Structure 1
Amino acid sequence: MKADLLLEGSFDEAIEGVDGVFHTASPVLVPYDTNIQENLIDPCIKGTLNVLNSCKKASSLKRVVLTSSCSSIRYRYDVQQVSPLNESHWSDPNYCKDYNLWYAYAKTIAEQEAWKVAEKSGIDLVVVNPSFVVGPLLAPQPTSTLLLILAVITGRKGEYPNTTVGFVHIDDVVSAHILAMEENNASGRLVCSSSVAHWSEIIEMLKAKCSSQEGDNNPHSMDSSKIIKLGLPPLRTLDQMFDDCIKSFQEKGFL
């Protein structure tokens, strides 16, 4: 069965008769795409709305779990004042525009629109907000996240983002989604983030060549207590995340 994220009604047949729907993140494989609106913003926002509109038509549907991102939470001018960040915080679209953070902009608007649809239609929506996902490579080729890590490890990238981000293991993100779908008490947004670190710390940990560049350095911390209280096991550490990531690169011949 084929479906098109940008075609309204495309998911009607696929969703009819199911109990739950996972609308997971789409990989961003091209870091510097020139057509941001068409290739990133539209699929993210319109695609999310099209899936939810199909969900509204499915009488059997009990819950929708949407993969959002901590990018829809942490990009704001007052981030240091309001940290630790939790489910009540939202990224500022104007901040995203000022720093050309188009992925964060798209994820923020898409999630906000999703909540509007859920509220009007009565859909039981639960949103998982993972931070920077690290771990074994699942796709045939590295995503933009893993391409950056691979470039740093191999020394092909002589600079790194001047920013602080949260990190989380892919296995913890998977567990968070299953918990969000199966746990009756799950509701609203669920931050899923382990350690927060500046990229310079990651570079030092990986012992890679690097230099700094100007960027949106916004130190912050993330609060994952809500999803942990629901029963998510202890989140993996930075060492575990990157050990598994590097091992996966080696197994797949990228290193």
Structure 2
Amino acid sequence: MKRVCVTGAGGYIGSWVVSLFLSKGYMVHGTVRDPCDETKNGHLKKLENAEERLHLFKADLLDFESLCAAFAGCSGVLHVASPVPLHVASTVPGSHTPNPQVELLDPAMLGTQNVLNASLKAKVEKVVVVSSGAAVMVNPELPSDMELDESFWTDIEYANSTQNWYAVSKTIAEMEALNFAKRHDVKVVTICPSIVIGPMLQSIINATSLLLLSYMKEEGRSGGDSMEDIKRPYVDVRDLCDAILLLYENPESNGRYICSAYSLTTKEFVAKMESLSPGYNYPKIFTGQSAYPPLNSEKLLKLGWNYRPLEETIVDNIKNYEETGLLEKGKPFPSTITF
């Protein structure tokens, strides 16, 4: 039977990757910090086919031997694990990362090196590394009048100077992954998603869910009834996972892929949410105008990727928030996280 390992299996993206690969008949190894932590990982054991085909491994990205144990017998590795600070979707890079070397840089960069070396040792055939749009579009010299494709990279020196540690970590880690493939006999493909939205499987809130909740709840907004009107790129977490599966299974996949479906201003996104689910505390005033550079997913689309309508994502997202109680007043925003 086909066997793969998913790093960071209990996280937002990792959980959906595990679910999808189980549904496609794979045996799945999942790395987590503590397989016995029901709060963080209990949802994985409830997934369909998990009892028969999911094996959770206690592993750490900085512990090479633990990764080797998890990868043993696998033909593929889906490297999803990487720390994402809760403020990452905000407009203040680095503002809540007191120790970036320990919190972001080491796990992303050294962790990716360990994943690649452990994959080589386990004779893994293919590794899909989940990078980020942050490895593409943090660069003051980028053209403002064109979509960014896979040839564009974040300027590491500039990201360092602005303390955008997340962009630094993802860019260096992705570069290392692609260079590793040139030096060794293992196929490596990277994927750079934009802001990932959609329903959650895990119980621990993630950064981009906080961003969407801030569109619906005043306590998540630093400006109260107003928000900055930023144009952002988005992709549904389930469509991202479809792309990861496509890149893993398609022998033609190679190099780097951008994964982004839509680009909307805050005002446009809020208007869409309010039309589909009225009655929540949406912002009424939109200030300023700024934009992330638009991302081009043509390379991925040519490989056969498709994405669902934005309306479906929003409806499913809000339903998920309602069912999990995240729209109740006062939840789930820590006092320091506002957008």
Matched, 1:41 2:114: no
Change (3 A) 1:13 1:141: closer
- What is the aligned length? 252
Match of 1:232 among 293, 302, 305: 305
Unaligned runs of 5+ in 2: 1-56, 88-95, 275-281, 328-339
Name the TM-score, length of structure 2 as normaliser. Answer: 0.68
Which of 101, 107, 110 is the equivalent residue of 2:164? 101
Q: Show the counterpart of 2:152.
A: 89
Find the counterpart in structure 1 of residue 266 from structure 2. Answer: 199
**Contact 2:233 2:292 (C-alpha < 8 Å) held by counterparts:** no
Which residue identity is paired with 1:231?
G
* Counterpart Cα distance in 2 of 1:82 and 1:128: 23
How far apart in 2 are the matches of 1:98 and 1:211? 32
User: Share of identical aligned residues, percent?
Assistant: 33
Structure 1, gaps ≥5 residues long = none
Q: In structure 2, what is the Cα distance between the partners aligned to 1:147 and 1:49?
A: 30
Provide the TM-score with structure 1 as the length reference.
0.89
Inter-partner Cα distance in structure 2 for 1:223 and 1:25: 24
**Structure 1 match to 2:320:** 248
- Tell me what 1:209 maps to: 283
Cα displacement (A) at 1:180: 0.6
The CA distance in 2 between the partners of 1:82 and 1:57, in whole Å, is 45
The answer to whether structure 1 residue 24 and structure 2 residue 67 are counterparts is no
Task: Tell me which of the two structures has the higher relative contact order, counting C-alpha pairs closer than 8 angstroms and 6 or more residues apart.
Answer: 1
Q: CA RMSD in A?
A: 2.3
Q: 1:40 to 1:219 in 2, by over 3 A?
A: closer
In the alignment, which residue of structure 1 is the partner of 2:278?
none
Could you list the per-position Cα deviations for residues 111-169 of structure 1 after superposition, in whole angstroms to 9, with x for gaps in the alignment? 01112222111220011111100100121022011112213311111444664321001
CA distance in 2, matches of 1:42, 1:210: 41
- Superposition deviation, residue 248 in structure 1: 0.8
Q: Given the superposition, is the C-alpha separation of residues 161 and 188 from structure 1 closer, same or farther in structure 2, using an over 3 Å criterion? A: farther
Q: Which residue of 2 aligns with 1:5?
A: 61
- Output the CA distance in 1 between the equivalents of 2:319 and 2:127: 33
Q: Which has the larger radius of gyration?
A: 2
Report SS of the residue matched to 2:58.
coil
Deviation at 1:229, TM superposition (A): 1.2
Q: In the alignment, what sits opposite 1:58?
A: 122
The answer as to whether partners of 1:127 and 1:189 remain within 8 angstroms in 2 is yes
- The farther-off stretch of 22-31 and 72-81 is 22-31
**Corresponding residue for residue 332 of structure 2:** none
For 1:101 and 1:202, locate their aligned partners in 2 and report how far apart those are by CA, in whole Å: 25
**Equivalents in 2 of 1:107, 1:12: separation in Å?**
22
Residue 168 of structure 1 aligns with an amino acid whose one-letter code is: V
1:177 aligns with 2:251: no
Deviation of 1:100 (Å):
2.8
- 1:168, 1:109 → 2: CA distance? 23
Alignment of 1:68-147 (within 5 A): 68-81=131-144, 83-147=146-210
* Stretch deviating more after TM superposition (115-124 or 20-29): 20-29
